[in-house]
Structure formats: C-alpha cells, structure tokens
Homo-oligomer: A and B are copies of this chain.
Amino acid sequence: MTGHAPPHKPPPKRRLAASARDRGENRAGILAAATAEFARHGLAGARVDRIAASAGTNKRMLYYYFGNKEALFTAVLEAAYADIRAAETRLSLLDVPPAEGIRRLIAFTWNYFIAHPQFLMLLNTENLYRGQHLRGRNEVRSLNSPLIATLSEILRRGRADGSFRAEPDALQLYISIAGLAYFYLSNNHTLSAIFARDLARPGARRERLAHMTELVVGYLRHGPE
C-alpha cells in the first residue's frame, strides 16, 4: 500500500510561519491524540497516521514536531508525568499538618488514577518495553524528584511534631501509596472475578480509599511494630 501513497507535501507556508501560540496548540493537540492512541493500542499497535488525523494535522507536521513514533511515545510519557506531578503540586501538601498531607496525597492518587485510566495503560506499555523510553531521561527525573522531596519533608515534620512514629523511606512509602491504588484498579477485573465481589461499584471505591488511608496513616502514626 505504501508504494501507492502520494509523496509527502511540504507543510503549508502558514504553518511554518505560525505564531508560537499556534505551534503550542498544534503540539498539544498531537500529544493529546497520541496519548489516546498509545493508551488504546500500545506502542507497536499505535498508528501515526491515525494520531495525525485525530489531531487534525498530517504525518509530516507530526514528524516535524516529534521526530518519530518512539520519540512521540517518550513525549507522551513525559507529558503524562508532568500532568500528575503538576496536579500534586497544587495540593499544597506542606501547608497542612503532616497526617493531613498524607491523607490528601492518598486521596489525590486514588482519584487521579480513576480519572486517568490512560495513564495506567501508558505505564503498563512502557514496562513491557522495560522502561527504555524513560531510562536516562534527565527531564523525567527532574519532574519526579520534587514529589519525593515533598514526601520526605512531610515525614520529617511528622516525626518532629510527634504525630508520626514510623520512619519509612519516602520513595518506599510513595510506591506503597501508588501500589495500593494502582493494583486495585489495574487488576479490578481479575480480582472481582476470583473473589466474586464487584470491586468497581462506587461504594467499593469509597471503601477502598478508606482502607488505604487507615492502613498508611495508622502505620505512620503508631510506628512499625
């Protein structure tokens, strides 16, 4: 089929002369379309021409902005991390008492994962590829390290004011909070089937959040054993 495709036309002049704002909208539109496509079809199954059509552009513009499909996937992953980390920053976790900061982070993580199932699918795909698109990317490290720094500071304050007795490593604790939410959602179908309980109904989601919160905050307040 590709042998019969017309040769690529250069992008129209008005595109190349587009304002910075137009370029930003173009890029954001392509990223949004690519996020949906990669989440749905994985990396191998995703098609660049479907992404271009969905974003109202063409493959040439897409390659102009992003280089190739793998680079576009990397950009999608980085944008997805930037989104969740930016939303966490808006929680102002250091403006509230330590235990309340932890409760907010747990509830936020839970609700964010529910509202962004595409984020979980993208992470699953990247783990199939053994993290190769993220490995060694300084941008993605500098996106994620402030979260761990904030969590470390919450833990330090909680120990200093006597509200926390446990002293976990901040990264371990973050992975635990994310894992308590992620596994329940990503494996909801198998868990519901093998235990014969509908774990996706709204009441079940409230129960899950309450359990995760009491598990983590109870441990932090009272100490390890």
Contacts and interface: CB of A to CB of B under 8 A. Distances in A.
B208 A172 contact: yes
Which has the most chain B C-beta neighbours within 10 Å: A178, A184, A190, A195?
A: A190
Interface of A: 81, 123-124, 126-127, 129-132, 134-137, 140-141, 143-145, 148, 166, 168-169, 171-173, 175-176, 178-180, 182-184, 186-197, 207-208, 211-212, 214-219, 221-225
A187 B113 CA distance: 15
B224 A218 contact: yes
Contacts of A173: 211
B144 A195 contact: yes
A136 B223 CA distance: 41
B180 A176 contact: yes
Which has the most chain B C-beta neighbours within 10 Å: A145, A168, A171, A186?
A: A186
A220 to B, nearest CB: 9
Contacts of A126: 189-190
